[in-house]
Structure 1
């Protein structure tokens, strides 16, 4: 197919935009769906972007709420882009301006522990989905304290309000990009996977999508009282009142420093006087995230598991799952130092019953102490949550499909966090994929993972047996892939103590 010589242009509710052609599909980047969240709007609900005259170029990614990458070396390349207008959408489409195409739509929400991440990653490019007839949209949203911190006179869950306004933009505009607003699937990974699960439990968002894909979903469900405690503490440490006016006097860099300090306090010294390196992991596993969706009783009326158990969102199909070894690499640098420490001694710090500690340590003994603790973090934070939510949904008859990503990274080891993303987007040749998936990642696996996503987005069925409470089947993505009964049987030991737990970042 020859590429047109005239750049594609599309009319939106705010004005006309001009994108670029790429191998038969078009990209429209950095379209603002809201006014810049600065000044009086910094801690306010998002406001739809005003109209612009003429044609607006949409050929470069917009500014990102992420001001600096989560770490110097992240598993997913997610660049930070300077600027104030940080609430944007990127649209990738094979049918720009074809209002009759009515193609299914994927809306993707990035991860990053609700404090980092960027929709400008080359991995999130929608080219492969466009090739398969799916219009793809990636969105940005306010992060950390700006998005989720408690403020006395500000709306709670400003990040959720950003997601909702972005979805309303999709509803009102996607037909002009060749999409069907009645066939929208929301998806996300890590914190983004938690975001779409939160949206499933938000009554005011129910009309904006019809399907959900939660990839390694990291839920928050922060109680309102705890959110208030954290918000008041941040204001106090910043020397201001916990109000929009008071916090608005703090420079953005100061708020970022304060939110990081509060979320990751310096570990207390142990008996030898040294800082305890395991303390942050224990706090994370037991307490979850400091900044993320808050159960405020209004926008998010109740925890996700409670909402799903009551049948909230039961009319929407859901695919969810995790990689087998999400955080097993977390203690890899300490593997040698921990080798002489019995795994059971460390596991007991996570509040497990003695018999559970012994059984879990014995079951995973071959992994060494660091591997046992890493697998525990994986199971506690991700895999038990996926199984618990699948069970809640199945009990109400809601259409649900469970999966595992089991293929092991040849460079990092195990089926680690983020490893499945280049397979989901079918972008194995993209930047830094070789770092996490080696020089020759299997295309057949990408065909399986991406193909299942396309099938679900297009038909509402990913192609394997739906989850039920009798056999509890799940798809195991590997080489070759397969469907197994009781695919998550190995986490059964932890189920009584592992629901509603949040998790950390997408890196």
Structure 2
């Protein structure tokens, strides 16, 4: 929450639904940045609108305060990300936050970044202090963070409800940007969408969606986790949730159930546990998220990309080297006694393929069995997808990277380039007072933030991030951090045996 007891310098801007009042951080015109928080782009998704497609926000009279983050769809932080993503109570959960150095300057025409948060499609928050756009504002980029319905409310199958309601929220938020961003100094013809984890999956889903093509002009996907839930799976989970709640799988039936019970049933219906839990997750993927519905999404994202959807848009994508190593790091002492052949065999990697994989990853083998298992999970869930997506794009302008910076923080993230570790470098927010050291370790290198954030600004402003494209020479990969930073001509060779 903004401390309104201190003296604020206000900023104002018009939107199609009314005027809003934000506040300055720093001095206008001298490196300062104005924040407009919690602006509604849709009516609160409650009552008759709970399981409906989003409805544009209603106009208001006078000047509306936009001084505090709006309500979030996340109810209580379940701790599934390593990013501080606070929950904010309230019903008006469909809102945007705008950060700009030039509010009201309609002729400024600055490039625009729209950020979609991650959290597995059931968690996460646009109110994270890490997502503050002040560094992008400093570098001439207007920044927007958006909210959307999560979990069952956003993506669950309901017999008589619109499908993919969370995606429809993304689309309406992006329509809001098109209609309003010029009033905040942004250029609606130069919008880059970006996100991490589920947010990375979101922007790739949008890239492969014909109905979204007019809403953005380039894409950066960090550690993308697409879902592409099959219709049968989506309906099975929806009926399971309704059965657990003892209601009909309809809007009328589910509308009688409170949020807490829905979330509990959703969690039970999608839980992956047991000795084969990891294997089933690797094989089946996510069971709640963007679904193939025959309407917004008619085929898997990779198929749409391979068919040329979004081929005119520059794309940057990549992954960290040890995304999910922390899942097994706590069991390192136990795993060291289990033969690698058995560990990897239980996860689906056997025979000649296993031998080829281990031969290509000797540096990871030297770090121990937990590191190998964590890397294999990472490769199956994230790094092979990077290669598949870049390959599917063919000659379309595509740049690929690897994030190799390893945390120095003791504990489950130690000595690994874990999930989320690239985000504070990408946003250049290493001076954030919350959560940085807990993920990166003390004194994370500002030089790496300069490189990472600089590449993001280059894509947003100029249409390319500053290293040779994969689409020009497949395999070409920018390596951020690690022992051998720079450009690797075959940066994902270590996953070749899994493709």
Output the TM-score relative to the length of structure 1: 0.92
The separation in 2 between residues aligned to 1:337 and 1:210, in whole angstroms, is 48
Do 1:391 and 1:469's aligned partners in 2 also have CA atoms closer than 8 Å? Answer: no
* Aligned mates of 1:254, 1:471 — CA distance in 2: 48
SS of the aligned residue for 1:249 comes to coil
Aligned counterpart, 1:500: none
Contact 2:279 2:348 in 1 (8 A): no
Aligned with 1:315 (options 312, 330, 345): 312
Match of 1:43 in 2: 51
More deviation, 435-444/458-467: 435-444
Q: Which residue of 2 aligns with 1:415?
A: 417
Secondary structure of 2:322's counterpart equals coil
The alpha-carbon deviation at position 469 of structure 1 amounts to 6.9
1:490 correspondence with 2:498? no
Match of 1:330 in 2: 327
How far, CA to CA, are the matches of 1:424 and 1:381 in structure 2? 21
Alpha-carbon displacement from aligned partner over 1:376-398 (angstroms, at most 9, x marks no partner): 111010100011100110x2x21
Cα deviation, residue 129, structure 1: 0.1
**Structure 2 counterpart SS, 1:322:** strand
Structure 2 residues not aligned, in runs of 5+ = 1-6, 27-31
1:175 aligned partner? 182
What is residue 455 of structure 1 aligned with on the other side? 458
- SS of the aligned residue for 1:152 comes to coil
- Alpha-carbon distance in structure 1 between the residues aligned to 2:375 and 2:223: 14
Q: Summarize deviations over 1:48-84 as a string: whole Å, max 9, x none.
A: 000111110000000000001122x851100001100
Summarize deviations over 1:309-352 as a string: whole Å, max 9, x none. Answer: 11110011100000111111211111112221112212222333
Unaligned regions of 5+ residues in structure 1, if any?
Answer: 268-275, 496-507
CA contact (8 A) 1:32 1:88 kept: yes
Does structure 2 conserve the Cα–Cα contact (< 8 Å) formed by 1:419 and 1:436? yes
| Structure 2 Cα separation of the partners of residues 389 and 265 of structure 1 | 26
Written as runs of structure 1 = structure 2, the 5 A alignment for 1:151-166 is 151-166=158-173
What is residue 498 of structure 1 aligned with on the other side? none
2:440 aligns with: 437
**Are residues 1:339 and 2:336 paired?**
yes
Alignment of 1:104-119 (within 5 A): 104-119=111-126
Structure 1 pair 30–191 and aligned structure 2 pair: CA distance change class (3 A)? same
Other-structure match for 1:7: 10
Give the direction of change, closer, same or farther, for the CA distance of 1:399–1:469 in structure 2 (3 Å limit).
Answer: closer
Residue 270 of structure 1 is matched in structure 2 by: none
Say yes or no: does 1:380 pair with 2:380. yes
Aligned to 1:302: 299
Q: 2:23 aligns with which of 13, 17, 20?
A: 20
Can you list the C-alpha shifts for 1:279-318, whole angstroms capped at 9, x where unaligned?
Answer: 3222211111121100112101110110111111001110
- Residue 137 of structure 2 corresponds to which residue in structure 1? 130
Q: 1:6 to 1:370 in 2, by over 3 A?
A: closer
Q: How many residue pairs are counted as aligned between the two chains?
A: 479
Q: In 2, are the aligned partners of 1:445 and 1:481 still within 8 Å (CA)?
A: no
Where does residue 37 of structure 2 map in the other structure? 29
Residue of 389, 393, 398 corresponding to 2:396? 398
Find the partner of 1:246 among 245, 249, 253.
253
Query: Deviation digits for residues 65-116 of structure 1, max 9, x if unmatched?
Result: 0001122x85110000110000110000000000000000000000000010
State the SS of the aligned residue for 1:434. helix
Deviation, structure 1 residue 262: 1.3
Structure 1 residue aligned with 2:29: none
Superposed displacement of residue 361, structure 1:
4.2
Shift of 1:7: 1.1
Q: Is residue 291 from structure 1 mapped to residue 283 from structure 2 by the alignment?
A: no
Deviation, 1:369, is 2.2
Cα distance in 2 for partners of 1:115, 1:101 equals 37
Q: Which residue of 1 aligns with 2:203?
A: 196
Tell me what 1:69 maps to: 77
Structure 2 residue 81 is the aligned partner of structure 1 residue 81: no
- Give the aligned partner of residue 273 of structure 1: none
1:357 counterpart SS class: helix
Shift of 1:230: 0.8
